[in-house]
Amino acid sequence: MLSAPSRFALLALVAALAAAPTSAEAQKKKPKLKPACGMRMLPMAEGVQWTYQYFVPEGVQLPPGVRIQEPPSVTIKVVKIEKSGDKTLVSLEESYRKVVVKTQIECDKKGLTIPPESFFFAGQPGGGLQMTLGKIERKSETNVFAGGGLKGEAFEELKTTATRVPSEGSGAVLVPAKLEIERKMVVNGARETIESGIKTHKAVSRLTINMTGRATLDTTPDKPFNMPQLDVAMYFEQDTGVVVARNSLGQGWKLSEFKTGAPE
């Protein structure tokens, strides 16, 4: 016969085993995310969703002039992943206010190719001002996302055309323009700590982006307009993606919700 202490210990063990989920159940509740192209620094799998809240970064000198009110939040969702030869195509839907922007990111062993309309291109909601970009010519020799991580430096040049559709009934005539963009990216190798809207992230990588460019209207091909220089800092956490983005124009976005799309 078991002694009283032994019976108590046995009952406690049985209760603990009954209360704990089985290994299979635990794995079902917390499945391992398998991102496209093994891209753990920006994990893209069907159903993954990021929501960001707008904030004004501290210590940023806002530029003069009239400012467009930023949307209070933006949500990006991975809706489809498919193979196309050696590449993987990731279809995203980016939504804010009543706007839904559909973009497509390409990835392969060389890294990521991100369209300018995507939030992940420069840490800003895309698709504003009813603008549509034409075919993009892109020149780049390196990719900071090569191998699924985030490291090194890269410089790319993009050329495209931009057209805008005037508001119905406005009678406005909007002239197409040619766009030229230079985008320099540098990854800070040291791990940093930063606060998002969901927690304190203690091991993030900072990607610094410097963008310059020109816009040339079709009506004045000899008078290109130099766009203001844009400096961007995007902070990435492995298996989560971008947790904070801020820029020299006084715009900032903090991750407020992250969903993997896996069943509970």
DSSP 97-156: TTEEEEEEEEEETTEEE--TTSHHHHTS---GGGEEE-PPEEEES--TTGGGS--SEEEE
Token pair listed for 235: 């902070």
CATH of domain 33-259: 2.40.360
Percent of the chain at pLDDT > 90 equals: 61
Nearest to 34 by CA among 104, 95, 101, 88: 88
User: pLDDT (tens digit, 9 = 90+) per residue, 161-174?
Assistant: 988 766 666 566 67
pLDDT band at 136; cut points 50, 70, 90: very high
Place of tokens 């780049």: 140
Q: 222 and 34 in contact (C-beta within 8 Å)?
A: no
Q: What is the average per-residue pLDDT within 197-215?
A: 95
User: Domain boundaries in the chain?
Assistant: 33-259
Q: What is the average per-residue pLDDT within 102-131?
A: 87
User: pLDDT (tens digit, 9 = 90+) per residue, 233-246?
Assistant: 999 999 999 999 99
Helices (H), the chain: 4-19, 23-29, 119-122
pLDDT band at 128; cut points 50, 70, 90: low
User: pLDDT (tens digit, 9 = 90+) per residue, 26-44?
Assistant: 444 445 778 999 999 999 9
- Evaluate if pTM is beyond 0.85: no
What's the pLDDT score for residue 70? 87
pLDDT band at 127; cut points 50, 70, 90: low
Nearest to 42 by CA among 258, 253, 211, 262: 258
DSSP-derived letter for residue 27 is H
For the chain, the average pLDDT equals 83
